[in-house]
Structure 1
Amino acid sequence: MSLLEVCVDDVAGLNAAIQGGADRIELCSSLAIGGLTPSAGLMAEASHHSVPVVALIRPRSGGFLYSAAEERVMLRDIELAAELGLAGVAIGALTREGSLDLAMLGRLARRAEGLQLTLHRAFDLVRDQTTALEEAISLGFHRILSSGGAPSAPAGAAQLASLVEQSRSRIQILAGSGINSENVAELLFSTGVQEVHASCRTLELEPAPELLAFGFAGPSCRATSAMVVRALKLCILEHGQNGNRPPFHLPTHRVSRREGE
């Protein structure tokens, strides 16, 4: 049975994802820039729910080459996630040469002992994913979030399939980016992935003019939709019930052409 992880960056999104049937939550802030570490308050709020929650540990936007000071921030944020009772953390760090920073990741992983470990999409920027996958296994990661090194998981489907084959069930490949109810069945069939990651967000009404004028909001607003989560989850369930056969047509559970991430 395939699993749906929904990434959210606020309390409303957390509640919508759970209401829609998410199997796991990736908790963060600032989804508009790929996600950053969530606040202590948001982590505490998420810990009250029964759905497993993985906190993204990313101290800033941009690349994944981190300083010693940024590593200290990540170490403390990992400790906080553990103290608050979250199920896991998603981490990643690279070297200047474009490989996994094994030394830093080893220290972060040791600090996260007892938690589920996700290698986040820093993996998509490594130069040699075949080597990086083996390194992730050696470091004790439980899963790798990836779009196959492409801007979206459907575009990287061939590489995702290769990663699944290489993994031989030693680590889960969590497919993410650009996944929605219209393409998930074909993606599951063509890649063999068992876990899917999506934001399930839709465009909301434009914020009030005064919020825009003062810089308190951006020109567009996206929010997690329980209906979109439910539609995606239903497509995943239908795929499993069909014995993983390729669909004759795309699922008809369309909520919006703008849905998903």
Structure 2
Amino acid sequence: MNKIKMEACCGSVRDVIIADQLGFDQIELNSGLEIDGMTPSVGTLVMAKKLTDMPIYPMVRARPQGFNYIEEEFQAMLYDAKNLIKHGADGIVFGFLNADASINVERTKEMVDVIGDKDVIFHRALDFTKDLEASLKQLIDLKVDRVLTSGGQKDILDNLDLLKYLQDNYGDQIEIIVGGGIRPHNVKEVLTKTGIKQVHFSGRERIFDESTYVMGLSENKDDYSYDGVSEEKLKEIMNQVLKVGE
């Protein structure tokens, strides 16, 4: 069986260091994992590029929740993408939908043009569309290189038949990377039953920063913590991935 490519979802330079030491293949870089990721700073990208030789794909996202942006947010995202590519991004991760959760074709075209010869990755906004197969065909026509998907909005284990169907029928036209709900107990089953050769996960944990806790404004330590990758959780998932095909 061909090697499974592993992508770490990283929200900081700290996370990149851990992923590099563990031997991941590539990184999706963002900020604010606790809100499912936002556009990372150029400084974070530049430092990450200094720390690893892995391909790094920043996610461009203007705000939490939703993928139907006002025009000014969209223009800001195009600018961010241009700036990140200028400073060494190997590709850009993004997703644009209309109000009815269909693919926003025009905006996707514009972003594809901005990304140029770098990798074009459409994120899990795809999972919110009403017809995953039809949406995937649109993205293929739009020259998207790769999509991140869990096969829809259900639990990933409920979507294995659809994921296998998409991989079997479209995997030679667009790269499919499975992600969303990947855990140590299910990753081997997901990869084995779908035949997908790329997997995306973060293995998050809450990281406490005592420098703000001393102010004593709250007794809840979660108020002074943030999400980052857990080295232990990443190792657990990686060990299961390495067993695929045994």
TM-score by length of 2: 0.90
Which deviates further from its counterpart, 215-224 or 21-30? 215-224
Aligned residue among 131, 149, 160 for 1:128: 131
Q: Structure 1 13/128 Cα, relative in aligned 2: closer, same or farther at 3 Å?
A: same
Aligned residue among 137, 142, 145 for 2:145: 142
Contact 1:9 1:30 in 2 (8 A): yes
Counterpart Cα distance in 2 of 1:152 and 1:47: 34
SS of aligned partner of 2:97: coil
Determine whether 1:176 maps to 2:163. Answer: no
Aligned residue among 14, 23, 26 for 1:24: 26
RMSD across aligned C-alpha pairs, in angstroms?
Answer: 2.2
TM-score by length of 1: 0.85
Please state how far the C-alpha of 1:124 moved relative to its aligned partner.
0.7
Counterpart Cα distance in 2 of 1:204 and 1:151: 28
Aligned residue among 84, 87, 91 for 1:84: 87
Which deviates further from its counterpart, 228-237 or 31-40? 228-237
Q: Following superposition of structure 1 onto structure 2, how do residues 1-261 of structure 1 map, counting pairs within 5 Å?
A: 1-48=3-50, 49-204=52-207, 207=210, 209-210=213-214, 213=217, 218=223, 221-240=226-245, 242=246
Please state how far the C-alpha of 1:204 moved relative to its aligned partner.
4.2
Contact 2:11 2:228 in 1 (8 A): no
Contact 2:208 2:224 in 1 (8 A): no
Counterpart Cα distance in 2 of 1:211 and 1:173: 46
Contact 1:152 1:176 in 2 (8 A): no
Where do 5+ consecutive residues of structure 2 fail to align? Answer: none
SS of aligned partner of 2:113: helix
Paired residues, what number? 241
Percent of residue pairs identical: 28
Where do 5+ consecutive residues of structure 1 fail to align? Answer: 243-261
SS of aligned partner of 1:213: coil
1:27 maps to a residue whose letter is L
Please state how far the C-alpha of 1:155 moved relative to its aligned partner.
3.6
SS of aligned partner of 2:58: strand
Q: Structure 1 106/213 Cα, relative in aligned 2: closer, same or farther at 3 Å?
A: same
Q: Structure 1 20/226 Cα, relative in aligned 2: closer, same or farther at 3 Å?
A: farther
SS of aligned partner of 1:4: strand
Q: Structure 1 205/139 Cα, relative in aligned 2: closer, same or farther at 3 Å?
A: same
Question: Structure 1 or 2: larger helix share?
Answer: 2
Counterpart Cα distance in 1 of 2:24 and 2:74: 31
SS of aligned partner of 1:156: helix
Q: Structure 1 205/69 Cα, relative in aligned 2: closer, same or farther at 3 Å?
A: closer
Counterpart Cα distance in 1 of 2:209 and 2:165: 41
Which deviates further from its counterpart, 8-17 or 152-161? 152-161
Q: Structure 1 186/83 Cα, relative in aligned 2: closer, same or farther at 3 Å?
A: same
Please state how far the C-alpha of 1:235 moved relative to its aligned partner.
2.0
